[in-house]
Amino acid sequence: MKVDFSNVNLDNIGKYEEKALAAFESLMNKDGAGNDFLGWIDRPVDYDKDEFERIKKAAARIRENSDVFVSIGIGGSYLGIKAIDVACDTYFDSKRDTKVIYAGNQISSQYMVELLDYLKDKDYSVNVISKSGTTTEPAIAFRFLKEALEEKYGKEGAKERIFATTDRAKGALKELATNEGYETFVVPDDIGGRFSVISAVGLLPLAVAGVDIDEFMAGFADGREKYTVKSMENDAIKYAAARNMLHENGKEIEVLVNYEPKLQYIAEWWKQLYGESEGKDGKGIFPASVNNTTDLHSVGQMIQDGKRNLFETVIEVESVDKDIEIKEDADNLDGLNYLAGKDMSYVNKQAMEGTTMAHVEGGVPNIRIKLDRVDERKLAELFYFFEIAVGVSGYILGVNPFNQPGVEAYKTAMFKLLGKPGY
């Protein structure tokens, strides 16, 4: 993986070097704000090997007895999983033995009724992911799915199909899992939700989905080796410095851009990572995303000619594993014969290059992240890159990148409206 800054004016980057390196040192020394949530830094090489093997064994059982696996979680217990799952799957007619679907990431009655109806004639298992067991969205979903499983398989049969990923020792879900005899996995105390895909939170659903979790962990280890070096040649530090430089120059919005639909949920995970990490104390760069070339026909006009308060970070996939050649047509009514003999990936690449040229000329700086290919190992390295960068960037910005106090505000208002005791 390489990061290209050639479409950003870095003349002033030197004034951010001292801040960036100091922020990085604080991150690595674990002496900054939120330092009790930095377990993800060394997790690629320091993890529970016994639990890791249990995860693989549980996934194998699920794949043998279940057509469908329901992953119940929200935020960090959902977005990272779906991002890797979608990116590593085929677009159509998945060959996977077990289909992974998601619940507990919203409170839609329509979705829940249709999900329960869909599962009636399927063999399925569920994984409820919640440190406390009381988060509203997953707790509601689990109530319905637990009841449906017990009705379908009986209590004894259901307990073999319910897996709980929760606190090691306490909380409502841990208590229920112990009482009912569910197999449990641990949500680490020292890893916040948006960083937790490297733990059992992400590893069990991904293993069920057919993702090679050994390769996934190896990708995080690759990232740890590359992005924990104190140097401005470290692309994660340089990216953090560059985005803060752009922010101080009036760029209030960062748009993450992809040209492969498989990467859409990578952007959704990234938006949580940067939104929750930096959006506090009246500060932060607003994280947005587009899926090109699709969105060039929607918000492309705004990016090209709208208010000049944004910059783009483009994820480029340098090598696709499937391609198709455009052939000549005798009538040429669509006027595409000038593309005859060219691969579709080549056309997509030129669309990206042309868009970059137009946007840069229009006053939108572009950072480009180049991925060799899309697989679990390269995506894990990308995740680790973004995680190191957000820690450094948050410290430069002057916030605690590892808490999310504002998330509680909507819950307080909602609980009051719902009449929850104590509110």
Per DSSP bridges, beta strands 68-72 and 124-129 are parallel
Output the pLDDT for position 408. Answer: 84
Name the average pLDDT for the chain.
Answer: 97
For residue 19, indicate whether it is catalytic: no
Residue of 137, 183, 268, 276 marked catalytic: 276
Output the pLDDT for position 334. Answer: 97
E-assigned strand segments in 276-346: 286-291, 310-317
In the structure encoding, which two tokens stand for residue 202, read together?
A: 């992400």
Give the up-direction half-sphere exposure of residue 403: CA atoms within 13 A in the CB hemisphere: 12
* Structure confidence by residue, pLDDT tens digits, 8-32: 999 999 999 999 999 999 999 999 9
Q: Report the Cα 173 to chain-centroid distance in Å.
A: 24
- Provide the angle, in degrees to the nearest 10, between the axes of the packed helices 14-29 and 235-248: 130
Measured CA distances, 404 to 210, 262, 398, 401 (Å): 32, 28, 14, 8
Enumerate helices (H) and strands (E) in the chain, giving the number of each: 14, 10
The DSSP 8-state label assigned to residue 11 in this structure reads T
Q: What is the pLDDT along the chain (423 residues), one digit of tens a residue?
A: 999 999 999 999 999 999 999 999 999 999 999 999 999 999 999 999 999 999 999 999 999 999 999 999 999 999 999 999 999 998 887 778 899 999 999 999 999 999 999 999 999 999 999 999 999 999 999 999 999 999 999 999 999 999 999 999 999 999 999 999 999 999 999 999 999 999 999 999 999 999 999 999 999 999 999 999 999 999 999 999 999 999 999 999 999 999 999 999 999 999 999 999 999 999 999 999 999 999 999 999 999 999 999 999 999 999 999 999 999 999 999 999 999 999 999 999 999 999 999 999 999 999 999 999 999 999 999 999 999 999 999 999 999 999 999 988 899 999 999 999 999
Output the pLDDT for position 115. Answer: 98
Distance (Å, rounded) from C-alpha 270 to C-alpha 285?
13
Residues 269 and 77: beta-carbon distance below 8 Å: no
**Does the reported pTM lie above 0.95?**
yes
Which helix or strand (DSSP H or E) is residue 88 part of?
A: helix 79-88
What lies within 8 Å, CB to CB, of 84 at 6+ separation is: 197, 202, 206, 211, 216, 376, 379, 380
Residue of 307, 327, 411, 416 marked catalytic: 411
Sign of CA dihedral 368, 374, 378, 382: positive
Our CA dihedral for 293, 368, 193, 200, rounded to 10 degrees, sits at 90
In the structure encoding, which two tokens stand for residue 220, read together?
A: 């995080």
Q: Residue 265: name the closest of 391, 71, 96, 89 by CA.
A: 89
Question: Does residue 200 sit in helix, strand or coil?
Answer: helix
Output the pLDDT for position 14. Answer: 94
Output the pLDDT for position 84. Answer: 98
For residue 283, indicate whether it is catalytic: no
In the structure encoding, which two tokens stand for residue 399, read together?
A: 């916030």
Residue with tokens 């009246």: 282
Output the pLDDT for position 407. Answer: 87
End-to-end CA distance of the chain: 49
Distance (Å, rounded) from C-alpha 271 to C-alpha 287?
5
Q: Residue 158: name the closest of 137, 130, 177, 133 by CA.
A: 177
Output the pLDDT for position 95. Answer: 73
